[in-house]
């Protein structure tokens, strides 16, 4: 199968690319490298297109040249706080950029589009937890609004043009390669601070609860989405909600550290509780998270330590 992965040099996208190649698929990556890294793709047999999804012509040319059967759309503006400060920038990338991808897919007969959405933001402060896919979408941030809008556009293209559209609503994804200098990767942020001997920052009281899901579980969902028969939205979470305080303790416990965090004001648009119901994806695809938080955090830490020591390869089981 020929698959174009937008944002394929990023944290999640690069793991998906590796898995697609390992499964025997032909892969191309379209990425502007604003947050992704070419090092994530080193040694891989694929086509890399260094373009931005906000450039409609570039996206169209890439799809026309590569002729994918599937587009896996991960490229996005990822920051909730940036979206709060710059909603036009967020919409340009996450709404207009997504439309560019969908238009290119329509024009060149792409049969399937997989869209990476955000279960951690599109539901807002859900009245029901765990939150199922048919719960009302009430995002609190422009980022959540733009992801919700992308979902709606995907459904329109599905109805109007007959393509298969699958939305994956991720919880808080963590794992190796996550950028510790953004805001979304709290596991990477905590680990980086502790490795550097700094006190990690916790916004608010730390009792906000998130649904943390290890990146390899997310990869499995993306593999299944290549051939799944159901066109729908699917939650992809870790199966439980963990407070930021609990997460901080879990990271500190890896090396028996007794560090104390710095407390700062809550962030605008941050959802207090995110806990995703996984019934639909389990029923339709037989997908269930295989990595609990303890095991996933340990694996992430081990890879960070190995990378810091200059290891060129590693194995996590």
Q: Note the pLDDT tens digit of each residue in 21-63.
A: 999 999 999 999 999 999 999 999 999 999 999 999 999 999 9
Which region, left, alpha or beta, applies to residue 256 given φ > 0 means left and ψ of -120 to 50 means alpha? left
Q: pLDDT tens digit string along 239-268?
A: 999 999 999 999 998 877 778 899 999 888
Whether 123 shows a pLDDT value over 50: the answer reads yes
**Distance in angstroms (rounded) separating the CA atoms of residues 184 and 267:** 12
The domains of the chain, with CATH numbers, are 2-308 (3.40.50.720)
What is the separation of C-alpha 92 from the centre of its chain, rounded to a whole number of angstroms?
A: 19
The pLDDT tens digits for 64-85 are 999 999 999 999 999 999 999 9
Is the predicted pLDDT of residue 314 greater than 50, yes or no?
no
The verdict on whether 20 is a catalytic residue reads no
SS3 assignment, position 48: strand
Helices assigned H by DSSP within the chain:
11-22, 56-66, 80-85, 87-91, 97-107, 142-161, 186-195, 215-225, 244-253, 279-285, 293-308
Better-scored residue on pLDDT, 114 or 260? 114
* Residue from 20, 143, 153, 234 carrying the catalytic annotation: 143
> How much is the pTM?
0.94
Preceding omega of 75 cis (within 30 degrees of 0): no
Distance, in Å, from the CA atom of 210 to the CA atom of 213, rounded to the nearest integer, reads: 10
């Amino acid at each position: 199968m020929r698959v174009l992965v937008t944002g394929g040099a990023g944290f999640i996208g690069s793991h998906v690319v590796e898995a697609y190649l390992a499964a025997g698929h032909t892969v191309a990556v379209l990425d502007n490298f604003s947050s992704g890294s070419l090092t994530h793709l080193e040694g891989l047999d694929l086509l890399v297109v260094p373009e931005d999804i906000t450039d409609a012509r570039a996206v169209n040319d890439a799809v026309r040249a590569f002729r994918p059967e599937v587009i896996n759309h991960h490229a996005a503006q990822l920051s909730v706080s940036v979206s709060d400060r710059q909603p036009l920038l967020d919409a340009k990338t996450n709404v207009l950029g997504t439309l560019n991808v969908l238009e290119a897919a329509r024009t060149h007969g792409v049969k399937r589009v997989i869209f990476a959405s955000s279960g951690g933001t599109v539901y807002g402060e859900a009245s029901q937890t765990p939150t199922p896919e048919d719960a009302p979408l009430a995002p609190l941030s422009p980022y959540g609004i733009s992801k919700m809008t992308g979902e709606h556009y995907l459904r329109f293209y599905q109805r109007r043009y007959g393509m298969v559209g699958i939305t994956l609503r991720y919880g808080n994804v963590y794992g190796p390669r996550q950028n510790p200098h953004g805001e979304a990767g709290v596991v990477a942020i905590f680990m980086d601070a502790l490795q550097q001997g700094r006190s990690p920052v916790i916004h608010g009281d730390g009792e906000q609860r998130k649904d943390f899901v290890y990146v390899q579980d997310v990869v499995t969902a993306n593999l299944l989405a290549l051939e799944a028969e159901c066109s729908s939205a699917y939650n992809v979470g870790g199966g439980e909600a963990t407070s930021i305080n609990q997460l901080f303790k879990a990271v500190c416990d890896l090396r028996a550290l007794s560090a104390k965090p710095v407390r700062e004001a809550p962030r605008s648009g941050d959802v207090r509780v995110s806990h995703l119901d996984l019934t639909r994806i389990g029923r339709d695809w037989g997908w269930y998270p295989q990595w609990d938080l303890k095991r996933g955090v340990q694996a992430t830490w081990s890879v960070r330590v190995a990378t810091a020591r200059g290891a060129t390869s590693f194995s996590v089981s």
